[in-house]
């Protein structure tokens, strides 16, 4: 949701972004912007009224790319402005950094991550590229000095300094491990920036990494299940159909801003509140909501 109380929803199936007005108790439909093939991720620069959307190619001659769209806050209409082609595959996650002057991206199928400059809403060519299998998400630190990429395929979090001109420089070590076979998917940083939390897709855990705010390095400290134990879900694995086998299918993770994380699971459509202690450690939810 943007500062102007707009809600944007990516619809990868029909290649569109829907916009709604949030009235406090309901969503009022405003508009649907089409022609965004395979769009499943975007980043919003509310201050400039811009949306950066990851799209697939609309034909065999057109590669995937990142579209810059101008957002009309009154009507919700998105108007395409510029495009950066990505011949090695489209983005599954985008995140802005440095007050909207930089863009980070993670490509799941392509297995690569990028950092790009932005000038006047135009996304420039990548200045850095990293490669790990099935990169699922990326986030910068709030100060724009560091970036963290999550690799579902390699069970790790890759950590980098964001140097001059958005160059990605590996920290020491370059990667920190997640439990083998857990399938790390999405991450969030807490408000104090001294902890990174990762939700795993296959094991349905929230992993707590302590973060050194000076050096940017991470250290795995604790973990807690975010899956409803009464649902008897099995541990998933790469390539498995979680619905067919009744496996865990971890989805998204959000920081509440206080002392809990909201974690979702798709096979049983549950939302659980993972408790966060004063030291950053996590504990399993005490109850779940079916969504």
**High-pLDDT (> 70) share of the chain, %:** 99
Q: What is the value of pTM for the model shown? A: 0.95
Comparison of pLDDT for 5 and 232, the residue scoring more: 232
d(CA 205, CA 186) in angstroms, rounded, equals: 11
d(CA 158, CA 173) in angstroms, rounded, equals: 9
pLDDT of amino acid 23: 86
Whether 281 contacts 269, CB under 8 Å = no
**Residue 30 predicted with pLDDT over 90:** yes
**Residue 57 predicted with pLDDT over 90:** no
pLDDT digits (tens, 9 = 90+) for 254-264: 999 889 999 99
> Which domains does the chain carry?
1-90 (2.40.10)
Bridging pattern class, strands 6-11 and 16-22: antiparallel
**How does the average pLDDT of the chain come out, rounded?**
96
Of 204, 139, 196, 130, nearest in space to 167 by CA: 130
**Residue 276 predicted with pLDDT over 70:** yes
Whether 100 contacts 45, CB under 8 Å = yes
């Amino acid at each position: 949701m943007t500062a102007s109380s707009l809600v944007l929803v990516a619809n990868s199936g029909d290649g569109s972004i829907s916009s709604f007005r949030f009235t406090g108790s309901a969503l009022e439909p405003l508009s649907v912007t089409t022609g965004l093939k395979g769009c499943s991720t975007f980043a919003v620069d509310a201050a400039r009224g811009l949306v950066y959307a990851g799209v697939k190619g609309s034909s065999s001659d057109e590669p995937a790319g990142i579209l810059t769209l101008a957002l009309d806050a009154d009507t919700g209409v998105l108007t395409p402005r510029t495009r950066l082609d990505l011949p090695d595959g489209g983005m599954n996650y985008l995140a802005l950094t440095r007050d909207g002057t930089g863009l980070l991206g993670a490509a799941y199928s392509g297995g690569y991550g990028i950092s790009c400059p932005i000038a006047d809403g135009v996304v420039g060519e990548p200045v850095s590229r990293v490669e790990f299998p099935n990169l699922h998400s990326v986030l910068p630190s709030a100060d724009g000095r560091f970036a963290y990429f999550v690799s579902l395929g390699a069970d790790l979090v890759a950590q980098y300094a964001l140097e001059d001109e958005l160059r990605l420089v590996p920290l020491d070590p370059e990667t920190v491990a997640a439990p083998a076979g857990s399938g790390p998917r999405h991450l969030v940083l807490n408000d104090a920036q001294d902890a990174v939390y990762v939700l795993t897709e296959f094991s349905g855990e929230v992993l707590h990494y302590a973060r050194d705010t000076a050096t940017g390095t991470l250290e795995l400290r604790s973990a807690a299940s975010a899956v409803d134990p009464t649902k008897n879900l099995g541990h998933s694995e790469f390539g498995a159909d979680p619905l067919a086998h009744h496996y865990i299918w971890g989805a998204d993770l959000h920081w509440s801003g206080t002392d809990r994380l909201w974690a979702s699971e798709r096979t049983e459509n549950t939302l659980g509140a993972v408790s966060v202690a004063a030291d950053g450690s996590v504990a399993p939810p005490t109850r779940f909501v079916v969504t």
